[in-house]
Structure 1
């Protein structure tokens, strides 16, 4: 049983604002022509780092529903050690890790530069927003101990 606060019930306006931020970040990613599959990798990787079981359950299911392979999902925590990801995905994952672990050396210039080499300015901005939003959701889910398992992808 989860006996922690329901943020949606206790602070519905803040929850709605968070939903609006998420929607705006998704729109920015669409406008920047970022692939939805890439965004799922970003969400999964940040959730792995943050230990967010609820978001891992959700976004691995969403990634599979979008056609992502199990092999790439399973290897995501070791993406640097595998040949399964494109240069574009690697740059996005490195930027995601740097944003997620901002306390650990901020976002290094080299990481930012690599992202800027494969994404335009709108793409880099959208990736930063995507990483920021999933990090916020991870913190909400971990803090309130949201229970994974029941989520089903739309469609």
Structure 2
């Protein structure tokens, strides 16, 4: 078994919330707007977990795994999310959203977004696409903050 080593936060959550309170409020408001859009909360949590995996944000990954479990997301989906494109655990709608999340998260290295967008249009309305895109942007912003500052992940 590998040894566990401590990863020191660069800034802890409490200090960030105190020092950047306006940013925290704005990001929370964006999250509330996405939630109020009617976007399926389970799908939203799948996207947040997947984007957090890609970005290597331990805080957001654990936070959204905890929320996904509370929502009752299937364990198989959470277990196989890193390899969703090879797993039978995901419906076409989820696959289209996950592909779009990967395209947006890896935008600089994936210049051809047309196929992913076309697949998204088959599964989602224009309003849903707008809100999915906002949800993906939202978690990417949190990943850059929490991952960059190495917030201590919440307990499982």
- Tell me, yes or no, whether TM beats 0.5: yes
Residue 69 of structure 2 is aligned to residue 64 of structure 1: yes
- Conserved? CA contact 1:95–1:107, under 8 Å: no
- The match for 2:59 among 54, 75, 100 is 54
Structure 1 CA distance for aligned equivalents of residues 60 and 83 of structure 2: 19
SS at match of 1:103: helix
Which residue of structure 2 lines up, in the alignment, with residue 37 of structure 1?
42
1:78-97 mapped onto 2 (5 Å cutoff): 78-97=83-102
Structure 2 CA distance for aligned equivalents of residues 42 and 107 of structure 1: 20
Which residue of structure 2 lines up, in the alignment, with residue 7 of structure 1?
16
Task: Output the aligned Cα RMSD.
Answer: 1.5
State how many pairs are aligned.
147
Structure 2 CA distance for aligned equivalents of residues 22 and 36 of structure 1: 11
The Cα of 1:12 is off from its aligned counterpart by 1.3
Which residue of structure 2 lines up, in the alignment, with residue 109 of structure 1?
114
The Cα of 1:107 is off from its aligned counterpart by 5.7
Structure 1 CA distance for aligned equivalents of residues 68 and 10 of structure 2: 30
Structure 2 CA distance for aligned equivalents of residues 148 and 40 of structure 1: 17
The Cα of 1:48 is off from its aligned counterpart by 0.4
Which residue of structure 2 lines up, in the alignment, with residue 131 of structure 1?
136
Please report the TM-score for the alignment, with normalisation by the length of structure 1.
Answer: 0.88
**For structure 2, which runs of at least 5 residues remain unmatched after alignment?**
1-7
Structure 1 CA distance for aligned equivalents of residues 28 and 112 of structure 2: 26
Which residue of structure 1 lines up, in the alignment, with residue 146 of structure 2?
141
**For structure 1, which runs of at least 5 residues remain unmatched after alignment?**
none
Structure 2 CA distance for aligned equivalents of residues 68 and 115 of structure 1: 22
Gap change, CA 1:149 and 1:12, over 3 Å in 2: closer
Deviating above 4 A after TM superposition, structure 1's stretches of 4 or more consecutive aligned residues are none
Please report the TM-score for the alignment, with normalisation by the length of structure 2.
Answer: 0.88
